[in-house]
Amino acid sequence: MTLTATHYVGLVFGLETFSQIVHFENSSYFIPSLPIDIQDAPEFQHRGLMIDTARHFLSKEAIMHVIDGMSFSKLNVLHWHISDA
């Protein structure tokens, strides 16, 4: 496998792509349907998500779960709407 990126963030997202195509079965890891050629680049620089705790309460655990999950979708911006005042 070869992974090339112009920035470290691209490298991290590329590693996430690798982790998403690896399968685990019968105590072993494998990649189905080899060989694979993936040409991937973000279409938009800003790929984000908004959490609105000003209007809808979320527990600390729920917020941390959302933040952890953002990396699986390769999101890079979190907008946290905390207060309307």
Question: pLDDT digits over 10-33, tens only?
Answer: 888 888 888 888 888 889 988 888
What whole-number distance in Å separates Cα of residue 48 and Cα of residue 74?
9
Question: pLDDT digits over 53-68, tens only?
Answer: 999 999 999 999 999 9
Rounded to two decimals, the pTM is 0.62
Torsions phi, psi of 53, nearest 5?
-85, -5
What whole-number distance in Å separates Cα of residue 83 and Cα of residue 49?
17
- Ranges 6-10, 14-18, 44-48, 78-82, most confident: 78-82
